[in-house]
Amino acid sequence: MRKGVLELCILAIISEGEAYPSDIIDKLKANELIVVEGTMYPLLTRLKNAGLLGYNWQESTSGPPRKYYHLTEDGTSFLRELLDTWNQLANVVTQSTKNLVENE
């Protein structure tokens, strides 16, 4: 389940505009979702190979060019589907645990 949630979060971050992997990691960490580069890069590659992400190279003032990711049309559609699924799941969990919260 964490993998699906991580994909949702990464795609959502990238949907805000082109993103560099370390910037994605920083945004996730700021929201207390800790992800290491060893997880991030294979996931980005898998999403790219699935046609959900594209990338372009941008020159860097502090080293070699950097690969910035963006959503493809398929990626945008997939993100919407993931978000719909997430909202359904969150609703089911909220309803299922409603009595626990009310009885505390």
Residue with tokens 């999403």: 47
Q: Print pLDDT tens along the chain (104 aa).
A: 667 899 999 999 999 999 999 999 999 999 999 888 898 999 999 999 999 999 999 998 888 999 999 999 999 999 999 999 999 999 999 999 988 877 66
Distance separating alpha carbons of residues 78 and 7, to the nearest angstrom: 10
- Answer yes or no: is 103 within a domain: no
- Answer yes or no: is 104 within a domain: no
71 forms beta bridges with 53
Q: Is this structure's pTM higher than 0.95?
A: no
Query: The domain that contains 24 carries what CATH number?
Result: 1.10.10.10
Distance separating alpha carbons of residues 68 and 21, to the nearest angstrom: 7
- Answer yes or no: is 21 within a domain: yes
Indicate the number of domains in the chain: 1
User: What is the domain range of residue 49?
Assistant: 2-87
- Answer yes or no: is 51 within a domain: yes
Residue 82 in contact with residue 7, Cβ under 8 Å?
Answer: yes
